[in-house]
Chain A
């Protein structure tokens, strides 16, 4: 089959092109560097031609590739064309942006339907689809903030944030070292480990189970905003006070999840261990902890993001002149929003990597769990 059915995305994109042509010009007449007629026709031509050709002449991967080129080529021309004319964009500009976005949508839809045979191709596809998705969030953000001239202080375009990241690498690196490699990692490890150990203790000693769990519950309800300044008084301005906040935040999710996980093994399995005259620790290590692993990893994943939030917020309450939270709170006061966004971007990236690493370890460890192996009984 060399062609596929026309899609509503492509149809709507072509319609938007027609409306855009009728409502030209793209930029306000007073624009300093108006877009040439050539560029304008190139944008419309790219969208319309690649859209129509994608179903009329091609199918599958070829169709997706054509849509990819059309959508991103048009988006690039649009963003390049608005340079120097910030805030001058008129209706056709946004219509054409929407049309290009529809093509990209169609491209992702086509890619999602492709069922490649080879493993590498499947992996590539699994990465490509969310990458296109993410790229379009940035493209629309860039084109809209610059095209509509949104004030820099409200929302800087991603290109400005990227430029700020590039220009401030040493500062960002120092902040990451202070906040993530000291406060977050230490607090995370100690918080998770102590939650785990207390859960085992509570399991072993019944009176602890009755006494400790309600208190653990109370600790989790402590407002971090209230606790952070007290931790600064106790442990000083350095990273130790932030690590203390992270410990308080990560302790309880680990405690509750481990307690729930230890109760997750079935009656039959426990009876089985009993028929082997297995002692408490043998049953714990050979049955109950492996059965609890999905719960424990859940806590590790929840805590990976909680720890980052805790450390950043805690830095708002007194810190040496370095750290991600410190930078955010001081730069917002100096109206350097691009630096604030740069820190946010770095924090999001670090948080995702942290979460991703934990999730990868989880997949390798709990490969046997139905949620990982795809639900086969």
Chain B
């Protein structure tokens, strides 16, 4: 397998690309006939980028993330992750995935939940301990190692699930509406922490959301998508600096980008009417 990886790396056009999708399409066969969840998606995500996917429900943003993670298989086009196929990338443990819910195992303590992927990889115990400590520090959960998930608040649970994805230490982080179920205050706080994490670790992050302020605040690039069939309608480069205090959201620059995202979303909607 190592050989194929090397070959793939050698043939890669853009050394900087983490995710490359070409004419990607995915049709689900349902009982009501085929449903086109993704159609003609062309996208390159480079190393160190923070890319948000935004759009109404059914626009395929989660499906696209699941295709990257090899949880769904595309029916058309090509996609490569670090030059590998999604399956190879998954088996090489190339990414960490954060789901909509924390999905922590209730029979494991927080530290042993964070250590779950490390156990599966089969890291030595000492390194597991070291990584658990480091990632729990990173998400400000030190002191809660011995607690069970159901003893923590929703925001803390989601932070623990981010720690679990980080403990993996993959360069790519896939996040599927991780803060969707949390209230606005907790969400702001976690957004801030996530940005700090991203700057500290220099990971590539793909982030699915349906909140415009969240997308604009976090991203270096925003991919606007629209439904039926799910497709990319606009890709917006953010002009905001890497250092972003929360009150940047009142700046004219921020509002201009948000307006453009909103226009993109509206255009997608009028298309279907």
Contacts and interface: CB of A to CB of B under 8 A. Distances in A.
Interface stretch (B49-57, B75-83, B94-102, B184-192): B94-102
A7 interface: no
Contacts of A274: 70-71, 90
B93 A276 contact: yes
A282 B87 CA distance: 18
Interface stretch (B19-27, B114-122, B196-204, B212-220): B114-122
A369 B69 CA distance: 30
A287 interface: yes
A271 interface: yes
Interface string A84-102: 0000000000000000000
Interface string B148-183: 101000000000000000001000000000000000
A210 interface: no
B121 A269 contact: no
Contacts of B91: 277
A186 to B, nearest CB: 31
A279 B99 CA distance: 20
Contacts of B121: 276
B90 A275 contact: yes
A167 interface: no
B107 interface: yes
Dominant secondary structure at the B interface: loop
Nearest to A271: B71
A122 interface: no
A376 B121 CA distance: 32
B150 A377 contact: yes
Contacts of A377: 150
B120 A286 contact: yes
A275 B103 CA distance: 13
A266 interface: yes
A269 B71 contact: no
A278 B168 CA distance: 13
Interface residues on B, range: 20 to 34
A366 B90 CA distance: 32
Interface centre among A272, A278, A293 (most CB of B within 10 A): A272
A142 B150 CA distance: 49
A276 B120 CA distance: 7
A181 interface: no
Given A277-B90, A286-B116, A368 B99 contact: no
A276 B100 CA distance: 17
A282 B168 CA distance: 17
A268 interface: yes
B28 interface: no
Given A269-B105, A271-B99, A287-B105, 14 more contacts: A266-B103, A268-B99, A268-B100, A268-B103, A271-B71, A276-B93, A276-B116, A276-B168, A277-B91, A277-B120, A290-B107, A368-B107, A370-B150, A377-B150
B183 to A, nearest CB: 15
Contact of A376 (B96, B107, B150, B168): B150
Contacts of A367: 107
Interface in A265-305: 266, 268-269, 271-278, 282, 286-287, 290, 293
A278 B91 CA distance: 9
A61 B92 CA distance: 66
A373 interface: yes
B117 A276 contact: yes
A364 to B, nearest CB: 12
6 contacts: A268-B101, A268-B103, A269-B103, A275-B96, A286-B116, A376-B150
A278 B103 contact: no
Contacts of B96: 275
B160 to A, nearest CB: 13
Interface residues of A, number: 24
Nearest to B174: A275
Contacts of B107: 290, 293, 366-368
Contacts of A266: 103
A294 B70 CA distance: 31
A14 to B, nearest CB: 50
Nearest to B161: A272
A377 B181 CA distance: 14
Contacts of A287: 105
Given A271-B71, A272-B97, A276-B93, A282 B103 contact: no
Interface in A246-272: 266, 268-269, 271-272
A252 to B, nearest CB: 27
A366 to B, nearest CB: 8
Nearest to B87: A277
B169 to A, nearest CB: 13
A329 B217 CA distance: 81
Interface in A338-377: 366-370, 373, 376-377
B150 A368 contact: yes
Interface centre among B69, B99, B100 (most CB of A within 10 A): B99
Interface string B201-235: 00000000000000000000000000000000000
Interface centre among A273, A277, A369 (most CB of B within 10 A): A277
Contacts of A277: 90-93, 120
Interface string B102-116: 010111000000001
A185 B209 CA distance: 56
Interface centre among A269, A275, A278, A287 (most CB of B within 10 A): A275
A370 B106 CA distance: 10
B71 A373 contact: no
Given A290-B107, A368-B107, A275 B150 contact: no
Contacts of B71: 271, 274-275
A268 B100 CA distance: 9
A275 B67 CA distance: 12
Top 8 closest A-B pairs, CB basis?
A368-B106, A368-B107, A275-B97, A268-B103, A277-B91, A276-B117, A276-B120, A278-B120
